[in-house]
Amino acid sequence: MTPERSYAEALADVAFAEKRPEEMRRQLGDFLATMAESADLRNFLESPAVPPGNKRAVIARLTERLGASEALCNFLYLVVDHRRVSLLEAIGTAFGEELNTRLGILEAEISAARELTAEEKQAVVAALERRTGKTIEARYQVAPELLGGVVARIGSTIYDGSVRMGLERLRARMAAVQGS
């Protein structure tokens, strides 16, 4: 198991123990966004020349300003103490994945030839939820090359209901018939 996965699982354990997984997701996201916006903050927290006590003081002020929980603050102290600040972004990604797994949420990337209406989006998500038995969190994109229909990617699984794929299947069947 990678270090970021270990930290993510530990934070998920705390989030679920406190019955606040979504709140912890938001809080960590806010902290990571603040780090991403400030190269000075990132350099300060990642620098081995800065004593951990100074880093803890900055984290305490920042988490208080962000309205983050004491649990997240303590987690960030742990990351600093173990000199893993450079892994925080990867820990955040792994934490999100871990929460989704524990909450029964799958992320789907849905591509369509045109912008889908709210009703169409709802229908696609409902069909994927029936098929997977999980809650679907969807991200949408327009892909005109599909001609029509929808392609959904969940992890390494692809559900292709595009017109392009239908035409390719039809072409393959016709070639097989002509070849016989």
Indicate if 9 and 69 belong to the same structural domain.
yes
- Number of residues in the chain: 180
Indicate if 56 and 80 belong to the same structural domain.
yes
Indicate if 22 and 80 belong to the same structural domain.
yes
Provide the pLDDT for residue 61: 96
Query: Which pLDDT tens digit goes with each residue over 41-100?
Result: 999 999 999 999 999 999 999 999 999 999 999 999 999 999 999 999 999 999 999 999
Mean pLDDT, the chain, as a whole number? 92
Residue 113 structure tokens: 């030839």
Residue 106 structure tokens: 């799958």
With CA atoms as reference, report the closest residue to 90 among 41, 28, 24. 28
- Sequence-distant (≥ 6) Cβ neighbours of residue 102 within 8 angstroms: 12, 16, 21
Query: Which pLDDT tens digit goes with each residue over 86-143?
Result: 999 999 999 999 999 999 999 999 999 899 999 999 999 999 999 999 999 999 999 9
Asked if pLDDT for residue 180 goes beyond 70, the answer is: no
Percent of the chain whose pLDDT exceeds 70:
99
Asked if pLDDT for residue 30 goes beyond 90, the answer is: yes
Q: Which residue has the tokens 């998500």?
A: 125
Indicate if 8 and 89 belong to the same structural domain.
yes
Indicate if 8 and 78 belong to the same structural domain.
yes
Indicate if 20 and 83 belong to the same structural domain.
yes
Provide the pLDDT for residue 171: 80
Domain final residue, candidates 80, 101, 122: 101
Indicate if 74 and 15 belong to the same structural domain.
yes
Indicate if 8 and 69 belong to the same structural domain.
yes
Number of domains in the chain: 2
Pairing of strands 149-154, 157-162: antiparallel
Residue 111 structure tokens: 């591509």
Provide the pLDDT for residue 10: 95
SS3 string, the chain, reads CCHHHHHHHHHHHHHHHCCCHHHHHHHHHHHHHHHHHCHHHHHHHHCCCCCHHHHHHHHHHHHHHHCCCHHHHHHHHHHHHCCCHHHHHHHHHHHHHHHHHHHCEEEEEEEECCCCCHHHHHHHHHHHHHHHCCEEEEEEEECHHHCCEEEEEECCEEEEEEHHHHHHHHHHHHHHHHHC
Domain final residue, candidates 42, 77, 101: 101
Indicate if 32 and 64 belong to the same structural domain.
yes
- Verdict on whether the full-model pTM lies above 0.85: no
Indicate if 28 and 74 belong to the same structural domain.
yes
Binning pLDDT at 50, 70 and 90, where does residue 149 land? confident
Which of residues 13 and 179 earns the better pLDDT score? 13
The domain of 56 spans 3-101
